[in-house]
Structure 1
Amino acid sequence: MKFVLEIDMDQMRGDGEAAAELGRALRYWGGNLHHYALVPGDGSAVLDSHYREVGNWRITDA
């Protein structure tokens, strides 16, 4: 089983925004993983602080 996180950092606009937004996304989703069974097929969109979809995470078989 794999946990896959994909973030399009080009979607995070502004000088220095990418690092701040990536850190925020990792803290937010890391803190919410206990709400998921974490079985293959689980996943969700990752949103930035402006509620724009900038990526996703998912659990895969391989």
Structure 2
Amino acid sequence: MKFRLEVDIDDAASADESARELGRILRYWGGNLHHYGLRPGDGSAVHDSGHREVGRWSVVSAETP
């Protein structure tokens, strides 16, 4: 299995703000990990603390580049 996470961070935010926001996103996603089967084809949108879609995570087969 291959896990992919892609998040677009606001270029206008400072490095500290970006790091805090990414930390919140990762904590939220990690806390909900048990809700997912983590099988190839699983995935979902990723949202920031303002509930804006900022990326996506997905599980793909190990052979997918």
With the length of structure 1 as denominator, give the TM-score of the two structures: 0.87
Structure 1 counterpart of 2:18? 18
**Structure 2 residue aligned with 1:41:** 41
Post-superposition Cα deviations, 1:3-62, rounded to whole Å, max 9, x if no partner, equal 111011136x53332111100000000110100111001111110000111111100002
Give the superposed CA RMSD. Answer: 1.4
Unaligned runs of 5+ in 2: none
Q: Secondary structure of the equivalent of 1:5? A: strand
Structure 1 alignment gaps of length 5 or more: none
| TM-score where L is the length of structure 2 | 0.83
Question: What percent identity do the matched residue pairs reach?
Answer: 66
For this pair of structures, how many residues does the alignment match? 61
Larger Rg, first or second structure (1 or 2):
2
Q: Which runs of 4+ in 1 moved over 6 A?
A: none
